[in-house]
Structure 1
Amino acid sequence: MSSLNLDDFSDLIERPDSGVRRDAEDRRERLAVPPGALGRLDELGEWLSAAQGAVPVRPVKRPRVVLFAGDHGVAELGVSGRPAGSAHELVRAVLEGASPVAVLARRMDVPVRIVDAGLDCDPELLPAEVVRHRVRRGSGRIDVEDALTAEEAEQAVRLGMAIADEEADSGTDLVVLGDLSVGGTTAAAALIAALCGTDASVVTGRGGLGIDDLAWMRKCAAIRDALRRARPVLGDQLQLLTVVGGADLAATTGFLLQAAVRRLPVILDGVVSAACALVAQRAAFRAPDWWLAGQVSGEPAQAKALDRMALNPLLDHGVTVGEGTGALLSLPLVQASAALAAELPERRAGTESGTETETDAETAAATATATATENETGSGAEAETASDQRPAASD
């Protein structure tokens, strides 16, 4: 029997400091730019301030992209736009700087960390720092067998927890979370369907590369069969990850839970990170307060999961490539919100509209002068008209 109980995280995770958030809101009311003029950037700045426990909010100086990698046996059914067992090629593309997330990370000067939790390839194909944490070689075919053994599931969750501790201890102040997987969206959709109590057809999407109708039907059938196996174990999140998750999904779940314990904010990417977040929420209901949804991925399962967690995505640009790309695109928004909240000046005492005060005063003075002049001119004209209209004196 496992010694790890995910429900224990419920007592370990606290919400971001509500008192600090109120202080941040009060400070926002005093800024020169009127409240509401910056839209959602105000909300982001206040959220980040509460997460940091600081007013004014500190800049996000040490973000990091963390990608958990793994292959899923269900890909053998032809449910993905990529061949089964080819996730290591995605990893290699990131390492060589040839993938979208690598290009953006280089442009933004954000380091990328890849963690092999369950790739189905020879370890020699990748650097030792990537493969040294591997739990197993590929995850099981969830439509007919468990993705992991109970021991492997616990090992994977503890792996994610350890990575979160390493990031927090190294000074990382915000994590952009993503995945590098083949077949991962199928496992993620099965988890979300199970936790949301919905049918397979409602959560089945077409993946990052898009699949044709026949592949979509195979994917839907695989999720349906996985759901039959998942429903009996819904009361135990670790067992649920064992049955229909995978090494990378279990590690991501552990990472999210421990990051919340360590008060480390996280930006979620697509449907895989959303599924893991939903599992984590089931274990610890306060955990989602530490996460942002970076983008809309177009996967129906992601929309279901985010709605259940009340997370509103920051971006909707139609980016479906995955790999943390959409979440990384949202990072500048978060950084901008912190800069604005910290650096905008407060209104001067006795003013109401901040930077427009002098202009408003000048306008009011000019208006008053014009009115006075008009009154004087009008009075003279009226007097003159009255003089003209008086009857002439008789002789």
Structure 2
Amino acid sequence: MSMWESALKDTVQAIEPLDAGKVEEASVHLDQLTKPPGSLGRMEDVAKQLAGIRREIKPDLGRKAVIVMAGDHGVCEEGVSAFPAEVTPQMVMNFLNGGAAVNVLSRQTGTDVICVDIGVNAELSHPSLHSRKVRFGTANMAKGPAMSREEAAEAVMVGVRLVEELAGQGYGLLATGEMGIGNTTPSSAILAVLGGKDAALAAGRGTGIDDKRLLHKQAVIARAIEVNRPDPADPLDVLAKVGGLEIAGLVGVILGAARRRIPVVVDGFISSAAALVASRLSPLSASYMIASHLSQEQGHAMLLEEIGLTPMLHMDMRLGEGTGAVLALPLIEAAVRIMKEMASFADAGVSGASTPANG
């Protein structure tokens, strides 16, 4: 076992269940507030989940950030995307210069954008860039493994260690984002292998490819699975053979967040592929995830079902970058405010549901 895989094993073993007592305490508190029981719907579920994660019913989540992992994919040479691979480094610079959709939404929601080069196939330099490059893009998974097992474990640990840094800086609410032209292809392959789905069901249109290219993409995914024969019982093997560097980095972000008892808001299709791998490495980690939205990408609902997550928003989005996750952050903060600021029946002098006056 490599040093990186050993570190990953230690991370997984350090993840603990949610505090069930605090979940129950939060539930009791919610039912004492001036509203019919359960009337705030999913917001109440999130409030209880946060209590279990943070071990307090009125947690202070601190600073919030979206972590945008960026990496390139050798499978792009198969023509699976409507955009050329050169767009990946160009978009990374756009993130760093504040011009992308995730930057706009993050400014609106008071969220910091943490952009990470974990595997872009270009030399990048910028004062705000977190340079954590494991390799210059993956290999073509249609011809062999996307990366070695050691590289996959190293990329996961990049995410874990980044969360450690951010936790030390007062970040208590994290969102996942990504950039990598062609990355719906490995994400679809991960769904096909770990979810036991046919490539035709797992693969969608990604950046907006036509019917002919979609059929080709599905064939490429099926070929990659046939060539590599990833083991569904070994999530790291799947990640190495048909995954991506930015996907692996997000696996680490999710596992690192779970280890540090930090809620992690999962974005769309690619982020959810990472979440599925994380949940297979550590089933306990799923309890720390909040699904932000349902993407238009056809495999996203299947991914969320595999993990056992229910999306908060239905916005017909399919951009990635962490945009859907950032949009959900104010709702999560709202759940905390309800717990902290809403009056109870006793405080407000309002008759509760069990009294005759309430009917």
Normalised-by-shorter TM-score class: over 0.9
Q: How big is the shift at 1:235? A: 3.0
CA contact (8 A) 1:59 1:335 kept: no
In terms of fraction of residues, the more helix-rich structure is 1
Q: What's 1:134 paired with?
A: 133
Distance 1:349 1:95, change over 3 A: closer
Q: What's 1:158 paired with?
A: 157
Q: What's 1:368 paired with?
A: none
Q: What's 2:88 paired with?
A: 87
Between Structure 1 and Structure 2, how many residues are aligned? Answer: 356
RMSD of aligned Cα (Å):
2.3
Distance 1:234 1:7, change over 3 A: farther
Distance 1:29 1:140, change over 3 A: same
Distance 1:136 1:46, change over 3 A: same
For 2:228 and 2:263, the matched residues in 1 are separated by 30
Match of 1:222 among 220, 223, 239: 220
Q: What's 1:120 paired with?
A: 121
| Greater C-alpha Rg | 1
Q: How big is the shift at 1:155? A: 1.9
AA aligned opposite 2:2: S
Q: What's 1:37 paired with?
A: 39
CA contact (8 A) 1:268 1:291 kept: yes
Match of 1:22 among 18, 21, 24: 24
Q: How big is the shift at 1:257? A: 1.3
**Structure 2 gap ranges (5+):** none
Instruction: Report matched runs for 1:183-198 at 5 Å.
Output: 183-198=182-197
**Structure 1 gap ranges (5+):** 365-395
Q: What's 2:335 paired with?
A: 337
**Deviation sequence 1:1-60 (CA, Å, 0-9, x none):** 5241555555321121110010001111111122122121111111112211112x2244
TM-score (normalizing by structure 2): 0.93
Match of 1:256 among 254, 257, 273: 254
Q: What's 2:78 paired with?
A: 77
For 1:351 and 1:263, the matched residues in 2 are separated by 36
Distance 1:349 1:296, change over 3 A: closer
CA contact (8 A) 2:119 2:136 kept: yes
Distance 1:236 1:107, change over 3 A: same
TM-score (normalizing by structure 1): 0.85
The percent of aligned pairs where both chains have the same amino acid is: 35
Q: What's 1:304 paired with?
A: 302
AA aligned opposite 2:149: A
CA contact (8 A) 1:143 1:222 kept: yes
CA contact (8 A) 1:178 1:324 kept: yes
Q: How big is the shift at 1:148? A: 1.0
For 1:50 and 1:251, the matched residues in 2 are separated by 25
Distance 1:271 1:234, change over 3 A: same
Q: What's 2:169 paired with?
A: 170
CA contact (8 A) 1:270 1:295 kept: yes
CA contact (8 A) 2:12 2:259 kept: no
